[in-house]
């Protein structure tokens, strides 16, 4: 028997949770032994569990944690190409390479995600409009299939496997290693221009006008504001700062270090978060951020404000929360406005929502981003929420929009099929790589990407 432990696992939103058998291999060669052992009916890889929903949850089956497969394998100082195991986290990469002048090509809003997780969800950052997804900077990867083959694939060789795996939510195999092209930067600081915008129309117009001039662009939206203030926001427009732009006396331009983190020591009671307290928070944020140019802030505060508090997901209490992320195509902004109206009217208590513009769609068969506007917000679990969200899903569909698998926990298989038109192609590649259905997850079964072999 290969050692495993039973753990109640969920995504970052803490809902839904299921009992899974967790395996923690330390060597790449042990991964195939686990998949081949037949100990569990099916398996799914799991990185740092930062997806919000059920993509790395596998009740009644095995979960293969990759966090011990975290070796850096090589780095080319000239080209910035890093080869590492899939369990290396973005935080570990930054710690080693930022002081040497290299930054991640794309980063999500937390650095506590693994390279494998970043590829399997083909994550995006505040620079999608310019630089695309994480997968666009992966030069090649090695994939262990359930049958025991190790496939070296890239945009040039075994393209079918590569584009099914980039964004493939762990269902094509276990990513063992990847080569990533890093970007060179001149400091660990960001130069940020702020724009305080009075409603959704002004927000969308300003994003459109400014996007091309900035590498990073994201708006924090007060989604509890109503009427003429619906969608009021603070837009943050960022660039990596040059050494001569830093404050005098800054010293080492790479001297900014990740902050020490206080934690949330217990689950907050349900009443702590309510529309009143959140309205006050959102209002204060808006008031405190007037338009201004050229503020210098360290990379950690700019890219990862939420990482400053350990286990911040506990503030939503034991019932947990979901993160709803919907993208509307360019020209269908009316859908976005309607969604905001619906959320605001339902007082879906949420701290600031995030709005950004995506650039062109990538090639990953299940990759999420496509050209348009994407809105993301946290919603605490409560009675009736699932029905409310399925109404929102219908609205998103009606406008040709799409929900993000890294965040989702309840979309129906039919909505998924309508939102992800390349799912058929994905299934075909998956059948070739995993004919016996060894890989599965709660999400895969829910979205009919894998058979339910437990019931
Ligand atoms: C605060 C916060 C902010 C975020 N901001 C963003 C954002 O701005 N943009 C964005 O795109 N996402 C964002 N996310 C989501 C997060 O980036 C993704 O969910 C990411 O995939 C999580 O990586 P992980 O290592 O935790 O993987 P997990 O959540 O553990 O797993 C994610 C998926 O990857 C698969 N997987 C993991 N490792 C492997 C492997 N080695 N081989 C094959 N499959 C594997 C799993 O099976 C699963 O399907 C955010 C999440 C949080 C908590």
CATH 3.30.70.2520 for domain 189-412: yes
Residue among 155, 106, 162 nearest 129 (CA):
106
Q: Ligand 1 pocket test: which of 51, 118, 311, 442 has the largest number of ligand atoms within 8 Å of its C-beta?
A: 51
Residue among 266, 253, 383, 399 nearest 326 (CA):
399
Q: Using CA positions, which residue lies closest to atom 9 of ligand 1?
A: 108
Domain range summary for the chain, segments of one domain joined by +: 5-65+426-446, 72-184, 189-412
Half-sphere exposure of 31 (CA within 13 A, CB side): 32
Residues 6 or more apart whose Cβ sits within 8 Å of residue 198 = 228, 229, 232
In whole angstroms, give the CA distance from residue 174 to residue 180. Answer: 17
Q: Ligand 1 pocket test: which of 67, 406, 434, 438 has the largest number of ligand atoms within 8 Å of its C-beta?
A: 406
Ligand 1 surroundings by CB, under 6 angstroms = 12, 44-51, 55-56, 66, 86, 108-110, 113-114, 116-118, 120-121, 123-125, 169-170, 174-175, 306, 406
**Residue whose tokens read 């993509």:** 55
Q: Ligand 1 pocket test: which of 35, 67, 113 has the largest number of ligand atoms within 8 Å of its C-beta?
A: 113
Atom of ligand 1 nearest to the CA of 405: 19
Q: How many angstroms is it from 323 CA to the middle of ligand 1?
A: 13
Q: How far is CA 169 from CA 16, 86, 270, 366, 389, in A?
A: 17, 14, 32, 8, 22
Residues 6 or more apart whose Cβ sits within 8 Å of residue 304 = 109, 110, 111
What digits encode the pLDDT tens for the residues 106-153? 999 999 999 999 999 999 999 999 999 999 999 999 999 999 999 999
Residue among 225, 160, 159 nearest 197 (CA):
225
Provide the residue-wise pLDDT of the chain in tens; the chain has 455 residues.
Answer: 999 999 999 999 999 999 999 999 999 999 999 999 999 999 999 999 999 999 999 999 999 999 999 999 999 999 999 999 999 999 999 999 999 999 999 999 999 999 999 999 999 999 999 999 999 999 999 999 999 999 999 999 999 999 999 999 999 999 999 999 999 999 999 999 999 999 999 999 999 999 999 999 999 999 888 899 999 999 999 999 999 999 988 999 998 876 666 666 666 566 566 777 778 888 888 888 999 999 999 999 999 988 887 888 888 888 898 999 999 999 999 999 999 999 888 877 677 799 999 999 999 999 999 999 999 999 999 899 999 999 999 999 999 999 999 999 999 999 999 999 999 999 999 999 999 999 999 999 999 999 754 44
Atom of ligand 1 nearest to the CA of 354: 8
SS3 content of the chain, % helix, strand, coil (to 5): 30, 25, 45
Q: How many angstroms is it from 325 CA to the middle of ligand 1?
A: 14
Q: Which helix (H) or strand (E) holds 65?
A: strand 62-65
Q: Are the CB atoms for 121 and 53 separated by under 8 Å?
A: no
What digits encode the pLDDT tens for the residues 54-92? 999 999 999 999 999 999 999 999 999 999 999 999 999
Atom of ligand 1 nearest to the CA of 368: 11
* pTM for this entry: 0.96
pLDDT at position 262? 66
Q: Are the CB atoms for 419 and 402 separated by under 8 Å?
A: yes
Q: How many angstroms is it from 398 CA to the middle of ligand 1?
A: 27
Sheet of strand 72-76: strand arrangement: 72-76, 81-85, 174-181, 138-144, 150-153
**For 324-334, b where at least 16 C-beta lie within 10 A, e where not — what string?**
bbbbbbeebbe
Fold (CATH) for 72-184: 3.30.465
């Amino acid at each position: 028997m290969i050692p495993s432990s039973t753990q109640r696992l969920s995504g970052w939103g803490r809902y839904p949770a299921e009992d899974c058998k967790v395996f923690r291999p330390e060597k790449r060669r042990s991964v195939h032994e686990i998949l081949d052992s037949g100990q569990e009916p099916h398996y799914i890889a799991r990185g740092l569990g930062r997806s919000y929903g059920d993509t790395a949850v596998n009740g009644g089956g095995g979960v293969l944690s990759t966090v011990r497969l975290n070796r850096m394998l090589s780095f080319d100082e000239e080209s910035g190409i890093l080869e590492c195991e899939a369990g290396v986290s973005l935080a570990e990469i930054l710690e080693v390479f930022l002081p040497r002048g290299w930054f991640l090509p794309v980063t999500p809003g937390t650095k506590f995600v693994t390279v494998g997780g970043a590829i399997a969800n083909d994550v995006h950052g505040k620079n999608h409009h310019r630089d695309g997804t994480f997968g666009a900077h992966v030069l090649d990867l090695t994939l262990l299939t359930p049958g025991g083959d190790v496939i070296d694939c890239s945009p040039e060789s075994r393209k079918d496997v590569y584009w099914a795996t980039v964004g493939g939510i762990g269902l094509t195999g276990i990513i063992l290693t990847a080569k990533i092209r890093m970007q060179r930067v001149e400091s660990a600081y960001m130069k940020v221009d702020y724009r305080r915008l009075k409603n959704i129309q002004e927000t969308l117009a300003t994003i459109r006008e400014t996007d091309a001039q900035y590498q990073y662009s994201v708006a924090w939206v007060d989604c509890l504001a109503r009427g003429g203030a619906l969608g009021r926001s603070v837009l943050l427009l960022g660039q990596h700062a040059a050494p001569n732009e830093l404050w005098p006396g800054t010293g080492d331009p790479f001297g900014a270090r990740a902050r020490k983190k206080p934690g949330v020591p217990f689950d907050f009671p349900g009443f702590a978060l309510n529309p009143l307290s959140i309205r006050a928070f959102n209002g204060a944020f808006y008031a405190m951020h007037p338009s201004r140019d050229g503020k210098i802030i360290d990379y950690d505060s700019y890219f990862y404000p939420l990482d400053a508090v350990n286990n911040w997901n506990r503030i939503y209490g034991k019932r947990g929360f979901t993160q709803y992320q919907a993208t509307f195509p360019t020209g269908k902004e009316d859908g976005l406005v309607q969604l905001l109206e619906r959320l605001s009217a339902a007082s879906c208590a949420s701290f600031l929502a995030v709005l950004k513009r995506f650039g062109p769609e990538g090639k990953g068969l299940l990759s999420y981003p496509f050209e348009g506007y994407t809105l993301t917000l946290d919603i605490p679990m409560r009675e009736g929420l699932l029905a409310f969200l399925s109404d929102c899903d219908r609205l998103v569909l009606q406008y040709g929009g799409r929900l993000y698998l890294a965040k989702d926990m309840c979309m129906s298989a039919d909505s998924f099929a309508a939102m992800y038109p390349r799912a058929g192609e994905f299934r075909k590649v998956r059948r070739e790589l995993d004919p016996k259905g060894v890989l599965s997850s709660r999400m895969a079964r829910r979205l009919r990407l894998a058979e339910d072999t437990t019931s």
